[in-house]
């Protein structure tokens, strides 16, 4: 936790601190989301999770003040700290302090007609044993059904993703498991499937769960080329041909699909949840 | 998107709406984080992502008003909508409206000395090709080094997790890849390792990257029993014995470890980032 840096232009970099009594993930999410609205502002970030004692709070106070004085720029601090005493210590540093709880808790208390519990770090904490197992099972399901599905597993799948190699199926399945607790399988379409222009027999009974991912051939070429540079597998012509035939198969078999070329893993997963009209399991 | 439900007590359930022009993940994260402070409030949730047109905004306005009138409880709406016109339409519904951008953007504009860009949906969108590939590579790394590591991969690992079967290594590695872009391998300690009470030779050169996960034997028993009910593998005695010997190995070999029994996947990952003092890659 020792930072002072300069931007490419030599001027001091703004430092963002994400402070939390738990993992810091909520504070990071809030801060990153806000900073996307200020894209031309270069910054470096420091996450300080698990601030659950005055000792840790003290060390963080010193660090923020040090960065402020050395850089001459007050750090921007995003806090989800719950303990009011620790929060006050940090808010009093030489910084611009954004307090996530303060901003929203009071109006929520009014609307819900109750006081908040001031419970520490529950948001990304262990919720309960069942939710934990749902996530773990979903992850295991994705791993067991990555790069091909077993017929006996298909009936337990929430969604089954189809696409040629490197369209983003695996990360999407893992994200669906981790974030939503959903069981997602993936089936890589092979030459034989593309030639047949038909769904593999194993998938026939599960048409309602099938979703295709397509991708711009240039982009597929770029991705495959990182993996196997100069290979026939990565050749642009081959990518074009596979994509064309895959989209033909999707059309012939009436499989819903969408173009994931410019989508993040989160966007692909979120889009699938919408299209499949499925409820999250956690 | 059609919901009206009652709680166990028969009174109408509060409905939370998460509205976004992108995936809705930021709105969900922030909303869930706030609601953990009101644990006794039962609620159901509806996420409406990709609200990027007046048509979609209109449909959402009608749905919120319908839920309000049918349940008699104004829905609580968490919004990360960026378009001011769409935001105004939704804020005018019969709801309690929490606007994450509004609350913080103006003070941030003041501090950073610039106007925000009002860019839509960048937070969980595709950031750039390099970040995307970093995440994908990290996921592939975790998959290739799950349940055992290859010596030639260890030098590229950011962290290597050790633990007996079912201590939570795999989900932690996947989360480190997805959330932080970090390359995490995992090595399941087997009988032979526990008997030898030494690190496997393959790990010797990488001591600084090694972290152990331990777990309460009762909890391990419970988790293993879900997988292989009544098996010797899941027996409480066996779990106790493995954990005792594993902790002996960690102590003998001076491997840092921590107890993950009551930790979520996020907490384990966050703790590892702290302990290993590594920088996120995305």
Q: Is the ipTM of this complex over 0.90?
A: no
Categorize the per-residue pLDDT at A214 as very low, low, confident or very high, splitting at 50, 70 and 90: very high
Question: What is the predicted pLDDT for the residue at A9?
Answer: 58
Across the interface, of A171, A262, A263, the residue whose CB is closest to B139 is A171
Distance from the Cα of A73 to chain B's closest Cα (Å) equals 10
Residue-wise pLDDT for B118-166, tens only, equals 766 566 666 678 888 999 999 999 999 988 788 889 999 999 999 999 9
Q: Assign domain A14-112 one CATH number from 3.40.1340, 3.40.50, 3.30.70, 1.10.1660.
A: 3.40.50
What average pLDDT score do residues B194-205 get?
94
C-alpha distances in Å from residue B48, one per residue of A20, A103, A227, A270, B24? 28, 23, 36, 10, 7
Share of chain A above pLDDT 70, in %: 93
Helix (H, G, I), strand (E, B) or coil at B19: strand
Give the residue from A2, A13, A29, A37 with the most B CB atoms within 10 Å of its CB, the best one to mutate.
A37
* CB-based burial label for A254 (10 Å; 0-12, 13-18, 19+): exposed
CB < 8 Å to A179, chain B: 25
Q: pTM of the full predicted structure? A: 0.89
Strand A43-48 to B14-19 pairing? unpaired
Question: What is the predicted pLDDT for the residue at A28?
Answer: 92
Give the residue from A99, A112, A131 with the most B CB atoms within 10 Å of its CB, the best one to mutate.
A112
Task: Write phi, then psi, for A185 (nearest 5 degrees).
Answer: -105, 160
Distance CA A220, CA A55 (A): 51
Distance from the Cα of A70 to chain B's closest Cα (Å) equals 18
Distance CA A50, CA A80 (A): 11
Q: Hey, do B14-112 and B129-276 end up sharing a CATH topology, with the first three levels equal?
A: yes
Residue-wise pLDDT for B213-230, tens only, equals 999 999 999 999 999 999
> What are the sequence ranges of the domains in chain A?
14-112, 129-276
Size of interface A-B (CB pairs under 8 A): 205
Q: Do A139 and B170 make contact, defined as CB atoms within 8 angstroms?
A: yes
Domain A129-276 belongs in CATH node 3.40.50: yes
Report whether B144 contacts B193 (CB < 8 A).
no
How many residues are listed for chain A in this entry?
282
């Amino acid at each position: 936790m020792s930072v002072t840096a300069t931007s490419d232009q030599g001027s001091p970099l703004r430092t963002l601190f994400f402070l939390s009594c738990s993992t810091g993930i909520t504070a990071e999410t809030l801060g990153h989301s806000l900073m996307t609205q200020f894209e031309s502002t270069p910054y470096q970030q420091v996450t300080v999770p698990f601030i659950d004692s005055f000792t840790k709070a003290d060390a963080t106070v010193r660090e923020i003040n040090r960065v402020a004085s050395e850089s001459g720029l007050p750090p921007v601090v995003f806090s989800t700290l719950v303990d009011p005493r620790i929060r006050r210590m940090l808010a009093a540093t030489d910084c611009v302090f954004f307090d996530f709880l303060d901003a929203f808790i009071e109006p929520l208390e009014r609307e819900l007609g109750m006081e908040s519990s001031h419970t520490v770090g529950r948001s990304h904490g262990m919720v309960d044993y069942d939710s934990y197992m749902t996530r773990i099972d979903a992850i295991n399901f994705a791993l067991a059904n990555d790069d091909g599905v077993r017929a006996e597993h298909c009936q337990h799948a929430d969604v089954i993703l189809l696409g040629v190699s490197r369209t983003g199926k695996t990360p999407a399945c893992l994200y669906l498991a981790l974030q939503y607790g959903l069981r997602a399988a993936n089936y890589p379409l092979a030459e034989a499937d593309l030639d047949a222009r038909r769904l593999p027999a194993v998938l026939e009974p599960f048409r309602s769960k099938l979703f295709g991912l397509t991708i711009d051939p240039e982009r597929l070429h770029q991705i495959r080329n990182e993996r196997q540079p100069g290979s026939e597998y990565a050749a642009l012509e081959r990518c074009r041909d596979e994509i064309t035939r895959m989209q033909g198969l999707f059309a012939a078999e009436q499989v819903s699909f969408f173009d994931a070329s410019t989508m993040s893993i989160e966007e692909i997963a979120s889009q699938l949840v919408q299209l499949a009209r499925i409820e999250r399991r956690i």
